[in-house]
Structure 1
Amino acid sequence: MVTLPVQQEHLFNRSLNTIKGVKLLFVEAELLFDVSCPDLDALKQQLENPFSIFVCGEFNAGKSSVLNRLSNDELAAVGILPTTNSIQPYYPDGFDGIVFIDSPGTNSIIERHQALTEDYLQHADIILFVTSVERPLTKSELDFLSLVSKIWVRKVIVIINKVDLITPQESEQIISHVKDGLSDVFTEVPPLFTVSTRTGKDIDSLRDFLLEFLVEAEKIRLKLQGPQNSLLVYLEQLEKKNYQAREKVIAEKTIFDRSLLRINERIEQYDLIFGVFREKIRDLFTNLIQQLHKLIQDNFAFISLLKK
C-alpha cells in the first residue's frame, strides 16, 4: 500500500470513497447504455498498490536490458527468444517505493502474453515504452500506444534502444521519425530518450530523469491521475452513448410526429369527405320524405275523389 504523509492521505481516501460511491451508478449505466464499465475494484487496487512503472515494448527491443541497466544488476533475464512469460515485478536499488514491471511484449505471438500485458496496463502508473533502432516505432507499436493514449490514458516515457548500432546522423533521423509517429498518437509528444543497453550510453541520463521526475508529489499526482483518467474515458464513452441514444429518440420522435401529422391530415380528409357525404345523404333523405308526403297526399286526394 502507498505510504503517504498525513496531509495527503485524505486525497487517497476521497478517491477511494468516490470509486465506491459511483459503483452502483456505473452498474445502472452499463444496463442502460450497453457499455462495459471500468473495473472499479482494479482502480481501487491501483490506488492501494505501490507506485509502478510498467516496462513494455515489442520482443527484442531490449525491455529487460533497460531494466537491468537502470538497476545496475541482472534482475531480468535476457535472451534471443521471448524469456518473460508473465508479469514480473522488480525493485531496483535507488528507486525507493517504486516497483518496475517487466512485461512479455506487446507483439507476442502467444495470445496469453499479449493479454497479460494489456490487462496490467490498467494497474500501471507510468509506462516505460522501449523501441529500438532496428525497428523504430512500427505500426503495431503505434497501435499499442494509441490504446495507451485513448483507453488507458497513462503517462508514457519512450526509450529508443541500441543507438550504438547506428551513426549520430542516423540517430537524428530515427528520433525525427519516432517523434512524428508519437505526435500522431499523443496530443503532447512524451519524453524521449536514446540509450544503448549494451554500452550503457545515456542510461545515467534516463535514470536521473526518472529519479528527478518521480519526486513524492509527482508520484502522488500520477497515482491519482491513473484511475481518474480511466473514469474520464469511461464517462466520455457514456456521454457518446447518451448522445447517440438521444439522437435516436429525436429521430424516432420526428418520424412519429410526421406520422401523426399524416394521420391528422387523413382524419381531416375523412371529416371533409364524410361532411360532404352526410350533406348528400341528408338531401336525399329530405327529398325522399318530401316525395313520400306528396305521395300520401296524392293518395288521399284520389280516395276522396272516388268517394264522391
Structure 2
Amino acid sequence: MTNVIIKNKELKRTLKEVSELLKDVESFFAGMGHTDIEKKIRDMAKQMAEPFYIIVAGEYNSGKSSFVNALLGKKILRVGPTPTTHSVVLLTHGDSFSQEQLQEHMSRVTYPLDALKEITLVDTPGTNSIFVEHETIIENFIHRAELVIFITSSDRPLTESERRFIQLLKGKWGRKVIIVLNKIDLKTEEELNEIIPFIEKNCYKLLGFDPKVIALSSLMATTAKANQDQELLRKSNVGEIEDFIFEKMDFDIKMELKSLSPLRFLTNVFADLKKDLETKIARYNSEIAGIERLEARLKSKREDMQDYSKKYKLEIESAFSRLKERLDTFLGYHMTTRALMASVFSREKIGDKFKKEMSSLSNPLHDLDRVIDDAVDYITRNNRALWEIALDYKKVEQGTGDVESLGEHSFEDRKNELQFALKEHSREYREFDLVNEADRIRAVAQGGLVNFLAMEGAAVAAIAGFGYLLTFFLPAAIIMVGAMALAGIGFTVIPHKRKVYRTEISKRIDNLSDRCSNFTISELNKAIDRVIEDIENTVACFRDVRWSEREICMKHLAELNRLSDRVRGLLGKSSTELK
C-alpha cells in the first residue's frame, strides 16, 4: 500500500489521524506496563502502511485453505481432512511464488496475482483444532483482521464452536464478518435454500447482526479454473465472492475498513480497561475510607483506653489509702503510753512488730501486683484486638505480611516488658523501706517514752523530796498543782509524738501514692500510644500506597477518556454501513 496514492483527501487525513492515535495509544499502554496490548497496537500501527488484511477463519476441514486456493486459481496451500494449517499464513503479492518463515507460527507466501497488490489474504489454523496452541495462535492474530471471511461447511453449518468464535469476532474484537457457506456441491438447491436462511436467522437471533452469506464450492472453483470450465466456474459461485472482494469493496472502502479495524479494537479494549480502572478506583476509595474510619476508631479507642486506665490509678491510690489506715491502726494500738510501757518488759519491741505486720501478706501494697497484672492484661488484650483489625488492611497490601507478622511472641514480649517496668519501679513502694521505717518508729517511740518518763519522774520528785524543800518558799497547794500539771503534760508527750509521726508518714505515703500511680498511668499511656502509633503508621503506609495507586489510576483514566474521545471522533467520520 505504500506505493498506492490515496486520492480521497478526507480518507487520507483519517488514516493519518488513526496512525497518530495508535502511536499515542502504544505509548499509553507502554506506560501502564500492558506489554501484550502494546504489542498488538504496535502491530496494528505497522499494518496501517500495509495492504488490506482479509483473514480467512473457520473450523478445520471447513475448506479455508481450499477457499484461498479457489481465489488464487491454484493449489498453493495444502488441504486435507485433518488440521493442515498449523500457523498463520500471509499471502501477499510477489513476482513469483515463494515461501518464508517470518516468526514462530507465522509464514509468508508470495504469488503473482494482481489482486494481492491491494490485499493480504491470511489463512489461519482451525478454530476447533485438536491442537490447543492453534486457538492461541488465532486469538493472538485476529486483532489484525480488517475483514474476516468466516468459512462454514454446508454439512455442518454454524456449529456451536463457530457461533462462539463469531461472537468473539463481533463482540470482543468488533470485526466485520462475511460468512462463506462452503461445499455447496454436497447439497441440493432445496437444502441450500434451508441452510442459508438458517445461518442468517441464527446469526441475527444469537449474535445480533445480519450477516452477508455467500454460497461457494471451493472444489468446483479450483477445478473449473484449472480446466477453464466456465460452466463449472459459474456453478461454484466463486465469482460472487471475487466480485465482492475485488470489485464492490473498492479501494476507498478497504481503506476505510483499515481505519475502522483498530478503532473497533480500541473501543472494546478501552471499555474493558475503563471498567477495570473504575473498579480499582472504587476499591481504593473504599479502602481509603475504611482506613480513615479505622484511624478515627483508633483515636476514640486511645481515649477510651486512657480513660479506662484511670481505674488502675484509683486502685493504686486505694492501696496506699488502706496502708495509711493500717498504719493508723498500728500506731493507735502500739504507740500509746500503756503499750510502750508494756513493751519495756517485752522481748518484741515496736520496731519488730512494725516489720512483722507490714511485711505480712495482708499488706495492702501487695495488691499493687494484682493491679499491675490486670492493667497489663487489659492493655495487651486491647492491643491484640486492634492489631488484628489493622492486619486486615495489611493483608490487602502485597508483601505486608499476615497475622504472624506481629506474632504472639511480640505481644508477649511487650506484655513482659511493661510488667517488668511497672513491677520493678513499684518495688520501692511495695517494700516501703521497712527497716528504715521500723528504726524511725523505734526512735520516735523511745524518744516519746523517755520524755514521758522524764516528765512523770519530775512530777513524782516534785511531790516527794524536792517538793518538801519548796514548801519553804511556796505553799504546798501550789507545789501539788504544779506536780500534777507536770504529770499531765507527760501523758501528752507520746500522743503528740504519735500525731506528728502520723502526719509526717501520711504525707510521705501520699507522695509515694502519687508517684506510683502517676508512673503507672504514664507507662500504661505510653504502651497505649506506642501500639496506636504503630498501627497508625502501618495503616498510614497502606493508605499512602492506596492514595498513590488511586492517583495513578485516575491519571490513566483521564488519559484513557481523552484517547476514547479521539476514537469516537474518528468513528464518527466513518459511514454507518461500514460500522
Normalising by the smaller structure, the TM-score range is 0.7 to 0.9
State the partner residue of 1:23. Answer: 26
TM, length-normalised to structure 2: 0.44
**Pairwise CA distance, 1:62:** 1.8
**From 271, 275, 282, the counterpart of 1:247:** 282
> How much identity, in percent, do the aligned residues show?
27
Amino acid at match of 2:24: G
**Pairwise CA distance, 1:132:** 0.8
Cα 1:88–1:27 shift into 2, 3 Å = closer
SS of aligned partner of 1:38:
helix
**Pairwise CA distance, 1:223:** 0.7
State the partner residue of 2:212. Answer: 191
**From 173, 179, 182, the counterpart of 1:152:** 173
CA–CA separation in structure 2 for the residues paired with 1:239 and 1:274: 51
The answer as to whether partners of 1:38 and 1:234 remain within 8 angstroms in 2 is no
**Pairwise CA distance, 1:306:** 4.0
State the partner residue of 1:66. Answer: 67
1:9-62 CA deviation, whole Å, 9 max, x = no partner?
44333333332233332122236xxx8423132111211111121112122212
SS of aligned partner of 2:179:
strand
**Pairwise CA distance, 1:168:** 4.1
**From 8, 16, 34, the counterpart of 1:13:** 16
State the partner residue of 2:462. Answer: none
Residues 67-216 of structure 1: pairs in structure 2 closer than 5 A: 67-71=68-72, 73-77=73-77, 79-81=79-81, 82-86=83-87, 87-89=89-91, 92-93=113-114, 97-111=118-132, 113-183=134-204, 186-197=207-218, 198=220, 200-216=235-251
More helix by share: 2
Amino acid at match of 2:265: S
CA–CA separation in structure 1 for the residues paired with 2:306 and 2:90: 81
**Pairwise CA distance, 1:193:** 1.9
1:98-123 CA deviation, whole Å, 9 max, x = no partner?
23223343233345655544443233
SS of aligned partner of 1:48:
coil
RMSD: 3.8
**Pairwise CA distance, 1:261:** 4.7
**Pairwise CA distance, 1:177:** 3.7
Answering whether residue 38 of structure 2 is matched by residue 38 of structure 1, we say: yes
- Between Structure 1 and Structure 2, whose CA radius of gyration is higher? 2
Unmatched tracts of structure 2, length 5 or more: 94-112, 221-231, 337-447, 453-488, 494-579
State the partner residue of 1:217. Answer: 252
State the partner residue of 1:48. Answer: 49
State the partner residue of 1:227. Answer: 262
**Pairwise CA distance, 1:138:** 1.9
CA–CA separation in structure 2 for the residues paired with 1:285 and 1:83: 97
Amino acid at match of 1:171: L
**Pairwise CA distance, 1:129:** 0.6
Amino acid at match of 1:5: I
Where relative contact order (Cα < 8 A, 6+ residues apart) is larger, the structure is 1
**Pairwise CA distance, 1:224:** 1.1
CA–CA separation in structure 1 for the residues paired with 2:173 and 2:38: 10
SS of aligned partner of 2:169:
helix
Cα 1:51–1:276 shift into 2, 3 Å = same
Unmatched tracts of structure 1, length 5 or more: none
**Pairwise CA distance, 1:159:** 1.0
Cα 1:277–1:133 shift into 2, 3 Å = same
CA–CA separation in structure 2 for the residues paired with 1:29 and 1:172: 52
SS of aligned partner of 1:61:
coil
CA–CA separation in structure 1 for the residues paired with 2:189 and 2:316: 103
Deviates more, 1:126-135 or 1:260-269: 260-269
CA–CA separation in structure 2 for the residues paired with 1:26 and 1:182: 34
The answer as to whether partners of 1:156 and 1:190 remain within 8 angstroms in 2 is yes
Cα 1:255–1:115 shift into 2, 3 Å = closer
CA–CA separation in structure 1 for the residues paired with 2:122 and 2:278: 39
